[in-house]
Amino acid sequence: MVKPALGFGGSLIYGLVFLVISATCQDAEVLAILKTTINAPVSFQWTGPDVCKWKHVECDSSKRVVAIQIGNQNLQGSLPNELEKLTALEHFECQSNTLSGPFPYLSKSLQKLIIHDNKFSSIPNDFFKGMSNLQEVRIDDNPFSQWRIPQTLSDCVALHTFSAQSANLVGTIPDFFGKNGPFAGLVLLALSDNFLEGPLPASLSGSSIENLLVNGQNSVSKLNGTLAVLRDMISLRMVWANDNSFTGPIPDMSHHDQLVSVNLRDNQLTGVVPPSLAALPSLKFVNLTNNLLQGSPPRFKFGVGVDNNMDRGRNQYCTNVPGQPCSPLVNALLSAVEPLGYPLRLAQSWQGNDPCANKWAGIICSGGNISVINFQNMDLSGTISPSFASFTFMKKLLLSNNALTGTIPRELATLPLLQELDVSNNHLYGKVPSFRKNVSVKLDGNPDIGKDKPTVSHSGSDKDNSSSNTGVIVGIIVIVAIVLVVGVLILFKFGGKWKHVRKTKNPSAIVVLPHHHGDGHAMKTTSGGGYYGDWTTSTLLSPTTSVYQGESGNLLISIQVLREVTNNFSEENILGKGGFGTVYKGELHDGTKIAVKRMQSAGLVDEKGLSEFTSEIAVLTKVRHRNLVALLGFCLDGSERLLVYEYMPQGALSKHLVNWKAEGIKPLEWKTRLSIALDVARGVEYLHGLAQQIFIHRDLKPSNILLGDDMRAKVSDFGLVRLAPEGKTSFQTRLAGTFGYMAPEYAATGRLTTKVDVYSFGVILMEMITGRKALDDSLPEENIHLVTWFRKMLQKKDSFPTIIDQTIEVDEETLASIRTVAELAGHCCAREPYQRPDMSHAVNVLSPLVKVWKPSETNADDIYGIDLDMTLPEALKRWQAFEGSGTTQASSSHSSKNLNGNTASSDGR
Ligand SMILES: *[C@@H]1O[C@H](CO)[C@@H](O)[C@H](O)[C@H]1NC(C)=O
Ligand SMILES: *[C@@H]1O[C@H](CO)[C@@H](O)[C@H](O)[C@H]1NC(C)=O
Ligand SMILES: *[C@@H]1O[C@H](CO)[C@@H](O)[C@H](O)[C@H]1NC(C)=O
Ligand SMILES: *[C@@H]1O[C@H](CO)[C@@H](O)[C@H](O)[C@H]1NC(C)=O
């Protein structure tokens, strides 16, 4: 127990230190318990006193356990409740074992939870409460006792992946997954093979979800309702809704530029397959078997995997031949029932291509022509189609006792043989067209008939609400237009390259970001010199809400505007030049500064150049992070191709690191270097971990790191996007990169993994520590290569201080910090890729170092109400009260763990 304060200042510090140490001890105790409950095998080598050295365990620099990764280890046993006491835990992975028993609570600082394929019997109902850092959840294939998707999941605002297939979920899909919900970045929602029921919530409209898997519900009623919401989920790449009870038509898919895989088989879908689906260039796989789809069988383009059960038993197509049109009568009937949502009952009976030969429900023929249409008492909603007027031999049209809305189409009055129109007992309104005298028109039970407007709006009558929705619709149209423009460009590159993925697990593809230099420029030595270094990509920053930042992130900008803001691309506005073209500074009317990258036009716009351009847009559109340079817009005009970025006023890091003298600027202080390193690590970590795709930068170096006025750094330079063969995390590729920063295995074999970037990052750290260039020809032969020299010097303990950049003021604290970073740099530049850490490790090492100087913005006082005038016991009491209230907020940063985070947890007592 902490003793009462003698003098509050010293005691408080003493108390904090004590609490941190105590937390560390506690982590060790918890791991000792874990070791027993999972029967940790000898191969784990969980023996020494320092758990941070244990295999599969990772700690941060204050020796707190941040990651436990024990997946695929044939483990049996259970997990102890004490795991919750690992209050710094961020990653917990134990997938594909045979662990059983209830799954325990974990720390609110959790970011990644990967526990699929085990035998866990339950998960606490409020497990997700307050987990605001949680990004990835994979809990599939566990025999949990039945549970519902908890409302508290909406606390996980950082969520990008939620995969809970075969997890015994019951109830309905909650309505917080959509655009207006808490998840701005949700890209994967996988709920297949559960016991869910009810509809796809309308709130999914406009969501960012790319992979939606809700197939195979085992509940009696399964998921039902229509698929209408899919129309507005235009980020979709993959939608699997098969093996459910969905009804109604497949919605229009014309905006789904990224849609690759569609499985809707085994539902009760009706209606005509929208031509927009078959027309999607990105489509690779589609399965529509075992529905009641109508009309002409869709013809998909060559290369699309289509279920080949085109026989009528499997759907209700009018013919067996894809693309062959239906008879005019069939087409007329289908268009007549379209506004009724293609009623299931009719679809079930409407077989073949001749309504008169096959006794279609609701249709009576005479002499091969339709004489009566009788849809009475069918529970129909929707409106009466003017297409009914195309049945020129029709004598009776009977639509009574339904829930029809809207008006009676004028066209019906033109039917020459009509004797009876019965629309009684519906919700129709408006003027009744003037039928011939001898037509019997039955209108009873339509209270609003004859009135201009319906007094009550009935469900299903979209038209009645249209005026109030106009604003929304206009908004949607604008957004769709933007997305379309960008999407079409994206398709140039993405089209057809996305691979089909396995059923239950998630797609994982690798995207590489090579560069604009043609093959001839692919290999370069460090330039180090240019004003803005090597502007492969340029930049600009002003954190504004400029008009250039639409919701989808990008806008087409006209060449005239760009000419204007860059003073017609004048010499004075040039920020930098490179093999790709020139970067200009520009200023918008509102004062926002931008950087405009104008590609070298080779006269002709060749297809390759165009596709590189569009793929840079594609990547920049997908990749959004505060440590990555943001694309604000682009322009495609004749042979002109321009990209508009945020403006980074302080230019490239290379300028500050090696060229500062020539530039007439001050060298960077150590803490600034540290914070830049952390920014870069975070940006690259994001690239490497981005949802389903892994982006590899390939050309990290100081000239591609740009600084804002606050000296916060952003990584720039993204080029071609390439997708790796399915399931591969490394692959060969055309070499691109820069000597000095290129990992040896990549230079030698072209084998590309994320560890290539980690290596380059290590080199950058070395440059920051030493102030030396990656390659320095002015030095003696054996010292030219920074990495080789650095490794040598790192080994000799005494010589270490001599390698530090002379401009850095070194005191004891700084020296310790530099030493830690030097070790990290060495680790990152390990010879073998598997010896190098992940980028997230670098973030974990750097962030506490940065925060030693720069406490997080929300400091201790704000979070825990510590008043330095308070005595320590008072402070402790408050923390305990805080904890008791269950609102302990684990901050995402390690700093707050060191300085205050853990003090608020139970560890301290
Ligand atoms: C969907 O199923 C539920 C039962 O889970 C039922 O109450 C509801 O009426 C069904 N809705 C539709 C549109 O079939
Ligand atoms: C359609 O789905 C069925 C069952 O899910 C599967 O057997 C078939 O191969 C699929 N068709 C295509 C083209 O993938
Ligand atoms: C049916 O329609 C055809 C024209 O499509 C017409 O020649 C024929 O007379 C019609 N039959 C009857 C009984 O009205
Ligand atoms: C209805 O009246 C029109 C003239 O207005 C006539 O041509 C038509 O034959 C009549 N129809 C019937 C079924 O009596």
Give residue-wise pLDDT tens across range 350-406.
989 999 987 899 999 998 899 999 999 999 999 999 999 999 999 999 999 999 999
CA 199 to centroid of ligand 1, rounded, Å: 8
Token code pair at residue 81? 């409740």
Atom of ligand 4 nearest to the CA of 436: 5
Pocket of ligand 3 contains residue 567 by CB under 6 Å: no
The radius of gyration of the chain's CA atoms, rounded to the nearest angstrom, is: 32
Place of tokens 């063969």: 725
Using a 10 angstrom Cβ sphere, with 0-12 exposed, 13-18 middle and 19 or more buried, the burial of residue 844 is buried
C-alpha span between 697 and 512 (Å, rounded): 6
pLDDT at 435 over 60: yes
Of all protein residues, whose CA lies closest to atom 5 belonging to ligand 2?
A: 265
Phi, psi of 225 (to 5 degrees): 85, -170
CA 367 to centroid of ligand 3, rounded, Å: 6
Of all protein residues, whose CA lies closest to atom 8 belonging to ligand 1?
A: 198
C-alpha span between 174 and 632 (Å, rounded): 34
The neighbouring-strand residues paired with 65 are 59
Instruction: Give the domain ranges of the chain.
Output: 344-449, 503-882
Pocket of ligand 1 contains residue 197 by CB under 6 Å: yes
Token code pair at residue 478? 């604008």
Q: Which of 369, 372, 392 to mutate to test the pocket of ligand 3 (most atoms within 8 A of CB)?
A: 369
Pocket of ligand 4 contains residue 420 by CB under 6 Å: no
Atom of ligand 4 nearest to the CA of 439: 1
Per-residue model confidence (pLDDT) at position 237:
93
Of all protein residues, whose CA lies closest to atom 5 belonging to ligand 4?
A: 436
Pocket of ligand 1 contains residue 221 by CB under 6 Å: yes
C-alpha span between 638 and 486 (Å, rounded): 17
Q: Which of 221, 246, 345, 379 to mutate to test the pocket of ligand 1 (most atoms within 8 A of CB)?
A: 221
Residues of each annotated binding site for ATP: 597
Of all protein residues, whose CA lies closest to atom 4 belonging to ligand 4?
A: 436
Residues of each annotated binding site: 597
Top mean pLDDT of 285-299, 444-458, 479-493 is at 285-299
Phi, psi of 547 (to 5 degrees): -65, -15
The mean pLDDT value for 290-297 works out to: 93
C-alpha span between 61 and 98 (Å, rounded): 32
566/37: higher pLDDT = 37
Top mean pLDDT of 67-71, 276-280, 514-518, 655-659 is at 67-71
Q: Which of 364, 366, 391, 393 to mutate to test the pocket of ligand 3 (most atoms within 8 A of CB)?
A: 393
The mean pLDDT value for 634-659 works out to: 83
Pocket of ligand 4 contains residue 416 by CB under 6 Å: no
Per-residue model confidence (pLDDT) at position 147:
96
The mean pLDDT value for 477-505 works out to: 37
State the pTM of this model: 0.55
Token code pair at residue 819? 């030493």
Instruction: List, in order, residues 6 or more apart from 367 with CB less than 8 Å away.
Output: none
Ligand of minimum distance to the alpha carbon of 305: 2
Report residue 165 CA to chain centroid gap. 19
Do residues 805 and 770 make contact, with C-beta atoms less than 8 angstroms apart?
A: yes
677/887: higher pLDDT = 677
Per-residue model confidence (pLDDT) at position 616:
63
pLDDT band of 735, cuts 50, 70, 90: low
Ligand of minimum distance to the alpha carbon of 437: 4
pLDDT band of 1, cuts 50, 70, 90: very low
Give the single-character DSSP code of 569: T
Pocket of ligand 1 contains residue 386 by CB under 6 Å: no
Do residues 540 and 648 make contact, with C-beta atoms less than 8 angstroms apart?
A: yes
The mean pLDDT value for 296-305 works out to: 83
pLDDT tens, 12-71?
444 444 455 577 788 999 999 999 999 999 999 999 899 999 999 999 999 999 999 999
pLDDT band of 489, cuts 50, 70, 90: very low
CA 178 to centroid of ligand 2, rounded, Å: 29
Pocket of ligand 3 contains residue 328 by CB under 6 Å: no
Ligand 2 binding pocket, CB closer than 6 Å: 265, 285, 287, 289, 305-307
Of 403, 385, 382, 550, the C-alpha closest to 480 is 550
Percent pLDDT > 90 in the chain is 47
Give the single-character DSSP code of 540: B
Pocket of ligand 3 contains residue 750 by CB under 6 Å: no
Ligand of minimum distance to the alpha carbon of 286: 2
Ligand of minimum distance to the alpha carbon of 366: 3
CA 267 to centroid of ligand 1, rounded, Å: 14
Q: Which of 96-110, 197-211, 257-271, 867-881 shows the lowest per-residue confidence on average (mean pLDDT)?
A: 867-881
pLDDT tens, 273-286?
999 998 898 898 99
Phi, psi of 189 (to 5 degrees): -130, 110
Report residue 199 CA to chain centroid gap. 23
Per-residue model confidence (pLDDT) at position 458:
58
User: Which class does domain 503-882 fall in?
Assistant: mainly alpha
Q: Does this chain's domain 344-449 share its CATH topology with 503-882?
A: no
Of all protein residues, whose CA lies closest to atom 2 belonging to ligand 2?
A: 287
pLDDT band of 149, cuts 50, 70, 90: very high
CA 164 to centroid of ligand 1, rounded, Å: 23
Catalytic (active-site) positions? 699
Per-residue model confidence (pLDDT) at position 21:
59
578/769: higher pLDDT = 769
pLDDT at 308 over 90: no
CA 731 to centroid of ligand 3, rounded, Å: 67
C-alpha span between 353 and 324 (Å, rounded): 11
Top mean pLDDT of 60-64, 302-306, 616-620, 905-909 is at 60-64
Ligand of minimum distance to the alpha carbon of 356: 3
Pocket of ligand 3 contains residue 369 by CB under 6 Å: yes
Pocket of ligand 1 contains residue 225 by CB under 6 Å: yes
Atom of ligand 3 nearest to the CA of 366: 13
Top mean pLDDT of 303-307, 407-411, 628-632, 702-706 is at 407-411
CA 407 to centroid of ligand 3, rounded, Å: 30
Pocket of ligand 3 contains residue 393 by CB under 6 Å: yes
The mean pLDDT value for 755-764 works out to: 94
Per-residue model confidence (pLDDT) at position 601:
59
CA 370 to centroid of ligand 4, rounded, Å: 19
Per-residue model confidence (pLDDT) at position 614:
67
644/507: higher pLDDT = 644
Per-residue model confidence (pLDDT) at position 846:
93
pLDDT at 4 over 60: no
Do residues 38 and 99 make contact, with C-beta atoms less than 8 angstroms apart?
A: yes
Per-residue model confidence (pLDDT) at position 577:
75
CA 366 to centroid of ligand 3, rounded, Å: 9
Percent pLDDT > 70 in the chain is 74
* 3-class SS of residue 471: helix
Pocket of ligand 1 contains residue 171 by CB under 6 Å: no
CA 452 to centroid of ligand 4, rounded, Å: 30
Mean pLDDT of the chain: 78
pLDDT tens, 767-782?
999 999 998 888 888 8
pLDDT band of 10, cuts 50, 70, 90: very low
Consecutive H or E run containing 566: none
pLDDT at 232 over 80: yes
The mean pLDDT value for 864-874 works out to: 33
Per-residue model confidence (pLDDT) at position 583:
85
Q: How many CB atoms lie within 10 A of CB 145?
A: 10
First-residue to last-residue Cα distance in the chain: 6
CA 225 to centroid of ligand 1, rounded, Å: 7
Atom of ligand 3 nearest to the CA of 368: 1
Ligand of minimum distance to the alpha carbon of 265: 2
CATH number of 344-449: 3.80.10.10
Instruction: Give Cα separations from 840 to 253, 255, 752 (angstroms).
Output: 38, 36, 18
Q: Which of 213, 243, 264, 265 to mutate to test the pocket of ligand 2 (most atoms within 8 A of CB)?
A: 265
The mean pLDDT value for 877-889 works out to: 37
Do residues 363 and 375 make contact, with C-beta atoms less than 8 angstroms apart?
A: no
Q: Which of 395, 414, 438 to mutate to test the pocket of ligand 4 (most atoms within 8 A of CB)?
A: 438
Within the chain, what is the greatest distance between any pair of CA atoms? 111
pLDDT band of 598, cuts 50, 70, 90: confident
Do residues 597 and 645 make contact, with C-beta atoms less than 8 angstroms apart?
A: yes
The mean pLDDT value for 645-652 works out to: 87
Report residue 706 CA to chain centroid gap. 25
Cα pseudo-dihedral 308, 310, 316, 317, rounded to 10? 120
The mean pLDDT value for 400-413 works out to: 95
Q: Which of 17-21, 26-30, 141-145, 219-223 shows the lowest per-residue confidence on average (mean pLDDT)?
A: 17-21
pLDDT at 332 over 60: yes
Atom of ligand 2 nearest to the CA of 305: 13
Top mean pLDDT of 441-445, 486-490, 722-726, 864-868 is at 441-445
pLDDT band of 595, cuts 50, 70, 90: confident
Of all protein residues, whose CA lies closest to atom 9 belonging to ligand 3?
A: 367
Of all protein residues, whose CA lies closest to atom 1 belonging to ligand 4?
A: 438
pLDDT tens, 246-263?
999 999 999 999 999 999
The mean pLDDT value for 747-770 works out to: 90
pLDDT at 112 over 60: yes
Pocket of ligand 1 contains residue 873 by CB under 6 Å: no
